[in-house]
Amino acid sequence: MRLFAPAKVNLALHVTGRRGDGYHLLDSIVVFAGAGDWLTLNASEALSLTVTGPRAGGVPADRRNLIWRAAELFPPGRGAAITLEKHLPHAGGIGGGSADAAAALRGLSDLWGLAMPGAEAILSLGADVPVCVAGRPMRMSGIGEVLTPLPPLPPLWLVLVNA
């Protein structure tokens, strides 16, 4: 199974406050780009993660990776050989790791015939993961857990610079 993990782009991002636990409260308009990473999932006895691609450098292939942690949200005892083909820059601010985790959640749910983990578990991976699971234009608020669907937006050409 091959899955696309598109980059997350905040068309508008306002920090509206800060919670006592350090999380920022947000109000953001989020869309997804035509550029992204690719995940390949195959049935396997054990869980494994291989990272390839032009942006693989510095990306962990163990429990530090959100893909691995996403897999651990499912009941234990299942395996999958996962290959991440990394095209988005590591820590580039466009939700690459969150998009990868979201694609892994969708793919593993299908591969293993299991329901997706609950919203709270998904949010535990990171504030951007719920919107990446949705994978469509959204207004995102709270710390990322409040999602309001937006109508489809017209095509938009953007140039993103990772400086």
CA–CA distances in Å: residue 90 to residues 37, 64, 142: 11, 13, 25
Residue in 8, 37, 86, 100 annotated catalytic: 8
Pairing of the two strands 138-142 and 2-18: unpaired
- Cβ 106 vs Cβ 70: under 8 Å: no
Active site residue 128: yes
Q: Using CA atoms, how far apart are residues 11 and 16, in angstroms rounded to an integer?
A: 16
Residues 6+ apart with CB under 8 A from 21: none
Q: Which residue has 């820059």 as its token pair?
A: 89
Query: Which of 90, 98, 107, 95 lies closest to 53 in space, CA to CA?
Result: 90
37, 86, 100, 128: the catalytic one is: 128
By annotation, the residues acting in catalysis are 8, 128
